[in-house]
Amino acid sequence: AQSVTQLDSQVPVFEEAPVELRCNYSSSVSVYLFWYVQYPNQGLQLLLKYLSGSTLVESINGFEAEFNKSQTSFHLRKPSVHISDTAEYFCAVTPTRLSGGYNKLIFGAGTRLAVHP
Amino acid sequence: GAGVSQTPSNKVTEKGKYVELRCDPISGHTALYWYRQSLGQGPEFLIYFQGTGAADDSGLPNDRFFAVRPEGSVSTLKIQRTERGDSAVYLCASSSSGTSGGNEQFFGPGTRLTVL
């Protein structure tokens, strides 16, 4: 079984400051890792994902995450946040070897990022 | 529309009533998932369809919950004898295939169910 821990339920930060949202996972098998974002009054959207290859993955809007297998972490970072980044961010995993031929996502509880002017 | 749609967006019902929640996946997507998101929590898996069949319903909390996808497209989540603890946002997601762990799941906006 897998589990995901997001250590911070809320992260307040000023505009243009750097931010890190932490995610740790537990799994006895290899996993794929995802970050989803939920803007106010909108559905979940995929922000970025790690499947294989380079452990550093980037999104189109300046976020990046690094897969650290030894620390079982997949922290999300952005060097300079904008007001528009205010949202809830969810870390999720799914096993690389499918059980039953499908990939249900296991989510963390979420981190609410609040960017202040 | 290009995305996953869910209706209704909000549903308020009384304890003991029956409700149906509908999901229209992205056209051509064979895999469909239902998740439930309680307040302050991340989404939790309920059930997965590949085509018309429910390949895994292990996340359904009890036998009051049931879901169908009769033609391999639209899906309906049905809840009988609703309880206050069923109050949550019910999310639907679809992907082009369920057979690759890396396939992106596209989520709908959710149905907020409130049981009074």
Which pLDDT value is given to residue B53?
A: 85
pLDDT at B1 over 60: no
**Rounded distance between C-alpha atoms, residue A23 and residue A21, angstroms:** 7
Which pLDDT value is given to residue A101?
A: 53
Which pLDDT value is given to residue A98?
A: 66
**In a mutagenesis test of the A interface, which of B105, B106, B111, B112 is the best target, namely the one with the most A β-carbons within 10 Å?**
B105
Which pLDDT value is given to residue B98?
A: 58
Nearest CA in chain B to A44: B107
Of the candidates B87, B75, B86, B63, which has an alpha carbon nearest to the alpha carbon of residue B34?
A: B75
Q: What is the pLDDT of residues B23-70, one digit of tens each?
A: 999 998 989 999 999 998 999 999 999 888 888 898 999 999 999 999
